[in-house]
Structure formats: C-alpha cells, structure tokens
A and B are shown apart, each in its own frame.
Chain A
Amino acid sequence: MNSNQAIRTMKKQNGSGAVQFFMMPEIGILIPIVIIMAVTASINDSLLTWRYFSTILTGCIFIGMASLAESLIIMVGEIDLSIGMSGCLAGVICGITANNLGWPLIPCILATLLTGMLVGAVNGVMITKFGLSSWIATLATQFICQGLAVTISDGLTIPIESLGTKVFTRPKPLGLSWLFFVFVIVIIILDFVVRKTTFGYRLRAVGGNKEAAQMAGINVNRIKLLVFILAGALAAVSGLFDVLTSQSASSTYGSGREFRAIICCAIGGISMAGGAGSIYGVGLGVLLFHVLWNCLRLLKVDTNLQLVLIGAILVLAVLMDIQRKRMEAKRITQ
C-alpha cells in the first residue's frame, strides 16, 4: 500500500505521464519500428504479409541470442568481443563431435555448451583475476577462437546429418521455426533472472556502481565470472542455432556478430555505462535491427549505404541513452 502511494506521488512529481511513458526504453524503440514499417509498407506492401514478417522473426534468433549474451555483459559493466567467434567455435565443436566422433544429440549439445562456457570462463578469469580490461581480453579470445575454429574444421563445412535434427529446420507453427520459440523462452527466463532473482539484482548492482556493490558485500568478481560463463553458454546456443538451421558447421559463421549484438543492445536501451536495461528491450532492439535491415532491402537501398545508416543509428541510440540519463538526473535533483 505504502509503496503504491510512493509510486503514485513519484509519478505526480515527474510531471506528465506521457513523457515518462515515451522515455521508457521499450516504448521508445517501438515507435521507430512502427514508423519504419509504415513507410516501407506504403511503398512495398509485401512487408505486411505474415509470410514475410515470420521470416524476419526467424532470422532474428542468431543475432538475438548473441545480443542476449552481450546485454548481460554490458549490464555488468564490461564488453565482450568474443561472442561471435566463441559461438562459431562451439558450432564447429558440435559438428566435429557429431560427424567425426559420431556422438548422439544430447552429448553433442552438451559439448557445444561446455565449449562456450569454457571460453566465457577464460574471459572471466582474465578480467577478474588478472585485471585485464574486458575488450582486450575478449579480443584475444576472439582471435584464439577464430584460429581454433578454422584449424579444427580445416576450413571445411561439416555436415551434421547424423544427429537427425532435420525436423528443426522445417518451419512449423505459424510459419516460425522451432528455434524461434526456444529463443522466446530464453528471453522470458533471462528477464525473470535479471529482474526478480538475487543474482540479477547483484548483476545490475555491480554494473551500476562497482565500489558500492563491493561495499554492500557483493562478491563482484564472482558475479562477473558467472556472467561471463553464462554469456559464453548463450553465445554457444547462438552458434548451435546456426548449425541446426543450416544443418552444417563451418568456421565462417558468426563473424562480426559481436558488433551487431552491441548495436542491438544499444538500440534496445541497454546503457553502455552498465547497470541499466531490460531483456525485453534487447529483444525489441534485435527486432528493430532486423526490421530496419529488411526494410532497407525492400526499399532497394544500397548495401553499403545500409552500413552507414547502421553506424549512424548506433551513435544516435547511445546519444539518446545519455540524454535520457541526463533528464533523469535532473529530475532527481529537482
């Protein structure tokens, strides 16, 4: 009751509710999605068919999974450049265990996840125990993973027919692939973990203010290590999605994915300074990124101009976040 009253008075103090509503990261993203879709649909009506939209949704899962991993890392105040390549290495491991060693499905998937977690653990140990800055440590693991993936796979494409996972590749309910539902379930679980559990609370506390978290008795290094391992596992799932969708493993998958993941996080309202953001926001950020990409394609915008636009959107999204924070700070001081 008390807290309800507090919230109500807070809302009154904040002035117009509409402004606050639009300042919510999740809503802020939906507006550009709708505008872009409306503009594109008025020129090319194939966008609004469910057939087309479902292919956009199905295409989201690869970068989407990587973005979820990246968002956790950014929330804890670090950055991970190894996401794409650790997923790639994990996928190659999946291909090797399935094709060359002939393992059945479950051990294969476990080996894939373990690979990702191992890379995450190496990152975490380098950053927490030895004090490397996160981008250089993860850049090193990115190189190492890429080199290992190419070497292990010998640069070849490895088929994984022996797993009998072809059923996953056929689009089923509502024209979406099964993997899309896995992605949605992971989003829901992660959102619960970040918002409702002690671990999630600590994660945001560490990202928001490391010193304060330390003083509050949170084991900062342990939280960071756990987050890196979790992100490694999610990156491995993103690599597994590639392998399952294309029914083959190759060292060419996932290159540059870490950058796109960072962009999706920025669009999705994850604060680049750490400590703030929501998992649903990331999901919407991924969606906006793909809608935008597809709209530009439908509008026949030059591919290279698309890169320019994406860079500009990244900068804009981060500037918006900074502006949002300034307004919040002003409100608090008032």
Chain B
Amino acid sequence: MQNSQPIARANVSAFRRFLRLDEVSVTIPLAIIIFITTMIRPDFLTINNFSAMFTQIPFIAVCALGAAFPLMTGNVDISTGRVAGFAGIIMASFICDYGWSTETAILFALACCVIIGLVNGLLVVHLGVPDFVATMGTLYIVGGARYLFIKGYQFALDKVPSYHYGAFFKTQFLGMLPPFWIMIVLFAIAFVVIKKTLWGRRLLATGDNREVAVLAGIPAKQMRMAAYVISAVLSGIAGIMLTLDLGLGLPETGDGWEFRAIAACVVGGVSLSGGKCSPIGILIGVLLVFATENAIIFLGLPTTMRIAVQGALMAFAVLFDIYKQKRKVAA
C-alpha cells in the first residue's frame, strides 16, 4: 500500500514531465498554428510550401544558435545580425578585391568574428559594461564597418574565376540545399556539446547560478567569454553561408536578424535568466517564427501585422517560461 502510491505518482509525473519538456512545449503552439492554418487553407501543409520555408530558415537558425550561447550564460548579444553581415562582406571583399581563394577568405572572416567576440566578452565580462550596451556598441561599429568595405557597389562572387562554390550551393542533397545540411550538422554538434559534454554542463551551470558555479570551481569568466566568441563565430558562419548561397556580397545581409534570432531562442525555450537551452527547441522555435509569418500570409491577414505577431509570440513565450519556473520552484 505504501509502496504503490509513489509508483503511481511516478507514472503520472513521467507523463507530465514529458509534457513539460522544453521541446514539447514549443511543438504544441507550432502544431496548433499548422493545424488551424491547414484547416482554413489546405495548401499550407504541402511539401512545396515547407521546402520553400526551409530555403530561408538555415541562416537565421544558425544565427539563433549563436545568440543562444550568451543567453545560456545569462548575458545577451545583440550584435549577432551585424556580425553575420560583416563576415559575409569581409569574405566577399577579399575574394573579389584581393583575389584570395574562397577558403582563405572564409577563414579570415571567421578570425575577424573571433576578434569581435573577444571584444564583446572583454567589455562585458572583464570591464563590467552592461551586456546590452556593450553589444550595442559593437552593433554600431560592425554595422558601419561593413559599408566601408563595399565602396558603393556589391560584390558579385560568380564573376570571380577562382570562385567555384556557386554550383555546389545549387545542388540538392536528399532534396535539400547545402545550407540546410550545414545547419543540421551545426545543431547536432551543438546538441552533443551542450547536453553531453562536461564543458556544456559547465556553460549551463555558469548561467544557472554564477556564484555557485564559481564556488564549484568553474572558470565562469572564461565560460562567458567563450560564449560570446561562439556567438560571433556562428553568426559569421550564417552570414558567410548566405553570401555564398546568393553569390552576392550585400552589406544589408543580417540587418534585423539579431532580434529575430533572440525571438526564436526565447520561443524555443532558452531561458533568459540563463542556464537552460536545447538546440532542438531553438530549431523548432525558428520553425515556429517562420511558420507564423507564413501563416499570416496564407490566412490573408495584413502582412504588416507580422512584426506585431512576432512580438506577441515572444512575450507569451517568456511569460510561459516564467510560469513554468515558478511552478518548478513551488513543486
């Protein structure tokens, strides 16, 4: 008698625990949106529509994955979008103007991203500048620096003889374009690193409770610095990917990505107080953001409401996160 009760409770709570998983709680609104839109417009749930969506998703998804790292450690990085554009432009500029090979140019652009990440980390972690303001400074600096490279015209990569990635980015593998597969690989790596390695656990612990992490011997400052560097590098990869995909170096690449990336993270269950993140959740979050945008068009709502709906989505996601945390504390 005494034994059976805890077992029954354990069974119930196992189901509840499944429902309370971050991934599940993101999937429910996604399913609702897809279901409602499909009821009204059956052509919403077609392979064509979704594969069209998936040609745009990888870039913001990788950017969002980058933005999630500082969020995990309890900081925020709003320079991600401009860093993406910056990396794309640097690479295109060195290929077109200086005749570098594509691989060297990519490596150089990523090295620049590492430096930007280090500057962000230095300002926030070591000098104590509030994270939001510090990354806003880099947002302006990097955002302006992009245009200094371009000198008034766009870089057409396809016209450079040594550039041979144009065809690669147009071939489909298993029905999907290369950016999609690069995204999947990056998310898989991130999943393993965050969920399965000691380093990932330490990263989450730093965000969860900095004092306790320091007491436990985790180099919290180093972790937070690393998070900023990873954020800059992943955003850089997103920007480089888009530039290669388009075959054009456009300075506007990445404008406004930073907040969509953060929105996707928040919707995808990354807690803003730090210490909680699931790459799968982020991926579903990005999908949710795009599906909502798409559904607005399909439902014939004014497309101008897109931004407003995104804002409302984000607010609800954070409110839900806070509600969940309060329940956890109460339990």
The residue on B at minimum CB distance from A326 is B128
List CB contacts (< 8 Å) of B136-159 with chain A: 136-148
Which of B62-70, B161-169, B202-210, B299-307 lies on the face that meets chain A? B299-307
Contact digits for A139-163, partner B, Cβ 8 Å, 1 yes 0 no: 1111111111011001100000000
Tell me which of A130, A132, A143, A262 contacts B310 (CB under 8 A): A143
Could you tell me the distance between the alpha carbons of A139 and B305 in the complex, rounded to whole angstroms?
A: 16
Residues in A neighbouring B136, C-beta threshold 8 A: 259, 262-263, 311, 314
Residues in B neighbouring A266, C-beta threshold 8 A: 133
Q: How large is the interface on B (under 10, 10 to 19, 20 to 34, 35 or more residues)?
A: 35 or more
A139 touches B148 (CB 8 A): no
A305 close to chain B: CB less than 8 A: yes
B132 touches A79 (CB 8 A): yes
Task: Name B's interface SS.
Answer: helix
Tell me which of B129, B132, B139, B312 contacts A311 (CB under 8 A): B139
B132 touches A135 (CB 8 A): yes
Residues in B neighbouring A143, C-beta threshold 8 A: 259, 307-308, 310-312, 314
A126 close to chain B: CB less than 8 A: yes
B144 touches A318 (CB 8 A): no
Tell me which of A142, A263, A312, A319 contacts B311 (CB under 8 A): A142
B141 touches A311 (CB 8 A): yes
Could you tell me the distance between the alpha carbons of A133 and B272 in the complex, rounded to whole angstroms?
A: 8
Residues in A neighbouring B145, C-beta threshold 8 A: 304, 308
A311 touches B305 (CB 8 A): no
A137 touches B315 (CB 8 A): yes
B307 touches A147 (CB 8 A): yes
Tell me which of A126, A307, A322 contacts B143 (CB under 8 A): A307
Tell me whether A155 and B304 are in contact in the complex, defined as CB-CB below 8 angstroms, given that A315-B123, A318-B134, A322-B128 are known contacts: yes
19 additional A-B residue pairs with CB within 8 Å, beyond A144-B315, A311-B139, A314-B140 = A126-B315, A132-B319, A135-B132, A139-B311, A140-B311, A140-B312, A143-B314, A147-B311, A151-B302, A154-B304, A262-B136, A272-B133, A273-B130, A302-B147, A304-B145, A308-B144, A310-B144, A318-B133, A319-B129
Task: Give the A-binding residues of B (Cβ under 8 A).
Answer: 76, 123, 127-130, 132-134, 136-148, 259, 262, 266, 272-273, 302, 304-312, 314-315, 318-319, 322
What are 21 inter-chain pairs, A to B, with CB distance below 8 A? Answer: A136-B314, A139-B262, A139-B314, A141-B311, A144-B311, A147-B308, A148-B308, A151-B304, A151-B308, A259-B136, A266-B133, A273-B130, A304-B146, A304-B148, A308-B141, A311-B143, A315-B134, A315-B138, A318-B129, A318-B134, A322-B127
